[in-house]
Structure 1
């Protein structure tokens, strides 16, 4: 099976209140027209085959599938947050060549990819560091901001919040490790 897209749900934690269980999430996307889906981890990251070949057609089909699943997810689990869709090739290109190599140091807690839809471009020069020195936004391209979080669990920087405040768009963040594991799972089919 070939996955061509990923659906990135915002604020989803499978099995928790207000989020579906894995089977509900996958069933909603299949009922919405996907040819194949595989929920990856518990954070609302889903590999998707939208069932239509061709880049432009497949991108539109993936978006349609995601949107068609929204009412079912709301009805079954109460999940009403946003979701973003990206071609897997674009996600892979975002981390090609280790874009964090120059920003990684002993204080690095997490390297992040914040996917964003809507809003305005970042209004700050990059790299940008937050006033508490817990977050660097290091690179941006349309629909994506790369960040480096310092501090430990619960005390680190918040790339999702920063990107949403700056852009006014809807964002969801994944760690570099999650994205690498996602791409490896997609390659295995």
Structure 2
């Protein structure tokens, strides 16, 4: 897995207005320099084999704008780093009867998060339980029809774009790779 990375696109829904379709997503990333690009699910999660993934993603951005009007953020992480986080069983001891989902929120930005963990938002529907470089692990609760949004909390705290995936998505992604 040495050169495998994952690109987490924010607000990308393959085939919907403002987002590329699967073939375009993969073709544009390969044309931008990736050895391979395999879309995983339809939520803008891509397994990327590239020597310089940040450069590939940056070069692909203009083509996504031209082809589909997509201009949102993308966060790149090493597949090995994600596997290492999972191996540590980060959610053990943090799930209770109120837990709706366990999540990974990816963000880039210059403002560090200096939170005493676990941290709970004012609405009591998001607990940030761990922080890694550009990654917040959270549990969320759902009250009535509204679930907590770790993406909104991280964006508010950092002033930078963020995107969230569930624990199940990350586990399936590691298996897929």
- How many Å apart are 1:65 and its aligned residue? 0.7
Runs of at least 5 residues in structure 1 that lack an aligned partner in the other structure: 51-57
Which residue of structure 1 aligns with residue 10 of structure 2? Answer: 10
Q: Is the 8 A contact 2:2 2:80 kept in 1?
A: no
- How many Å apart are 1:175 and its aligned residue? 0.5
- How many Å apart are 1:14 and its aligned residue? 0.6
For the residue of structure 2 that corresponds to 1:95, the secondary structure is helix
Verify: 1:183 aligned to 2:160, yes or no: no
Deviation readout 1:105-137 (Å, 9 max, x if unpaired): 111111001111113121331111112211101
TM-score computed with the length of structure 2 as normaliser: 0.95
* Residues 56-135 of structure 1 aligned to structure 2 (within 5 Å): 58=51, 61-135=52-126
Runs of at least 5 residues in structure 2 that lack an aligned partner in the other structure: none
Deviation readout 1:124-163 (Å, 9 max, x if unpaired): 3111111221110111121111000110695011101101
CA 1:86–1:100 in structure 2 vs 1: closer, same or farther (change >3 Å)? Answer: same
Which residue of structure 2 aligns with residue 47 of structure 1? Answer: 47
Which residue of structure 2 aligns with residue 166 of structure 1? Answer: 157
Q: Does 91-100 or 19-28 show the bigger shift?
A: 91-100
TM-score computed with the length of structure 1 as normaliser: 0.89
Aligned partners of 2:60 and 2:87: how far apart in 1?
Answer: 31
Verify: 1:34 aligned to 2:25, yes or no: no
Runs of 4+ in 1 over 3 A off after TM superposition: none
RMSD of Structure 2 on Structure 1 (CA): 1.6
Q: Is the 8 A contact 1:3 1:47 kept in 2?
A: no
Total equivalences in the alignment: 177
